[in-house]
Structure 1
Amino acid sequence: MKNLFTITLMVIAMCFTTDAKAQKFSGLDKSPADIASYPSDYKVSDKLVRVIYSRPQLKGRSISELAPAGKVWRTGANEASEITFYKDASIGGKAVAAGTYSLFTIPGANEWTIILNKNLNQWGAYSYQESADVLRVPAKVSSGSESLDAFSVAYKDMDKGTNLVLGWGNTRVTLPIVF
């Protein structure tokens, strides 16, 4: 009788503990995360730079609604984008030590200001502190022939480095990086 009671108690306990340990998964993010590395060829493991960002989508809205001109923007959606340099680099003639930085921008009509900030794991630009800036440089704005609904990051080869290109709508922001 004692064994039957023990076994019954164990079966009941197992039934209740299964529900207690069930994992809850959230739904898909509306602004999915992406990674853009350079060199872009997946066969090259010796990367020079990588950007981790979320991809907001215009969905009929303008860039100025989502990334207002003259205001610090997280350069993506959700958490502030992060850029990692695996080797020392030069951006706009200014030295950048290898490491990981938050990537912010200040949109403008003819040029955007690119900001590297030493504070990581920031949600949006809400906790952005200018005093933690490592670098601020201007980047050229041009117009692309293809409209991109989702914010995107890409690279374009150049001598001794790459151009980091931010694309959204018809806007293209180009930042030369020399290694």
Structure 2
Amino acid sequence: MKKFSILTLFVAALFFTTNANAQKFSGMDNSPLDMASFPSDYKISEKVVRITYGRPQLKGRSLSELAPAGEVWRTGANEAPEITFYKDVTFGGKEVKAGTYALLTIPGEKEWTVILHNQLNQWGSYFYKEASDVVRVTGATSTGESLEAFSIAFKDVDGGAHMVMGWDTTRVAVPVMW
């Protein structure tokens, strides 16, 4: 009888302890966080640039509805993306010191204005202040196959890379040279 009582007590304690410490996790984010870097080879430890950003989905909506032309856009979902340069570079032809910056854009029909900004950890572009811009450059638009999710990638070119942003059929490239 004594063995049965101790075993019952142990099982009951284990049951209540497990339930008390169970962790609830939320479902997958609708606009998951992603990262792109250059070089992208995981064997290379000396990155030049890395960007983290949210990946919104079209879900039947238009790009112009989600990122209106002529308005400052956070360039993704949730927080404004953060781009880190691990060495001094030229970004769209303008010199940029190594460091971390927020990435914002102003979409246009034939070109987008791409902004590196000092204000990190900002939700969206609601509190954007032009006075905090580090540089503004332009990237010409082109078209490609339709992408449901906003994406950023780096394309290897002589002397550097192009940061290519794509969503729906729109592509915007900005040269990053070092």
TM-score under structure 2 length normalisation: 0.87
Deviation at 1:18, TM superposition (A): 6.7
Deviation at 1:59, TM superposition (A): 1.4
* Residue of structure 2 equivalent to 1:27: 27
Cα deviation per residue 1:4-37 (whole Å; 9 max; x = unaligned)? xxxxxxxx99988876654332221000110001
> For the residues of structure 1 that align with 2:121 and 2:94, how far apart are their CA atoms?
24
* Residue of structure 2 equivalent to 1:8: none
In structure 1, runs of 5+ residues without a counterpart are: 1-11
Alignment of 1:1-179 (within 5 A): 22-144=22-144, 146-179=145-178
Letter in 1 for 2:101: Y
Q: Between Structure 1 and Structure 2, how many residues are aligned? A: 171
Cα deviation per residue 1:120-144 (whole Å; 9 max; x = unaligned)? 1111111222111111111111111
Runs of 4+ more than 3 Å apart: 12-24
> For the residues of structure 2 that align with 1:13 and 1:136, how far apart are their CA atoms?
62
TM-score under structure 1 length normalisation: 0.87
**RMSD of equivalent CA atoms:** 2.1
> For the residues of structure 1 that align with 2:72 and 2:15, how far apart are their CA atoms?
52
Cα deviation per residue 1:134-167 (whole Å; 9 max; x = unaligned)? 11111111111x2111000111111211000001
Identity across the alignment (%)? 65
